A and B are shown apart, each in its own frame.
Chain A
Amino acid sequence: MGSAHSLPAEMRALAEKTGFTSDQIEHLHRRFKQLSRDQLTIRKENFDSIPDLEFNPIRSKIVHAFFDKRNLRQESDGLADEIDFEDFLTIMSYFRPIETSMDEEQLERFRRDKLKFLFHMYDSDRDGKITLHEYRNVVEELLSGNPHLEKEAARSIADGAMMEAASICVGQMGPDQVYEGITFEDFLKMWQGIDIETKMHVRFLNMEPIGHCY
Chain B
Amino acid sequence: MAACTRRLDKVMFSIRLLRNIQQKNERFLSTSMRRLDEGSDGGKPTKFTPPPKPVIIDKTQSEASLRKFLSPEFIPPRQRINPLKFAIERKDMIQRRKVLNIPEFYVGSVLAVTMADPHASGKTNRFMGICIQRGGHGLGATFVLRNIIDGQGVEICYEMYSPRLQQLEVLKLEKRLDNNLMYLRDALPEYSTVNLDMKPVPHSVTGDVPVNKTRVRMRPKPWSKRWERPKYNVQGIRFDLCLSPEKLEHAQKWAEPWREYDMLKEYDTTALEERFLKEVQTEMSKSTCP
A, B in one complex: no
B binding-site residues for A, Cβ under 8 Å: none
A binding-site residues for B, Cβ under 8 Å: none
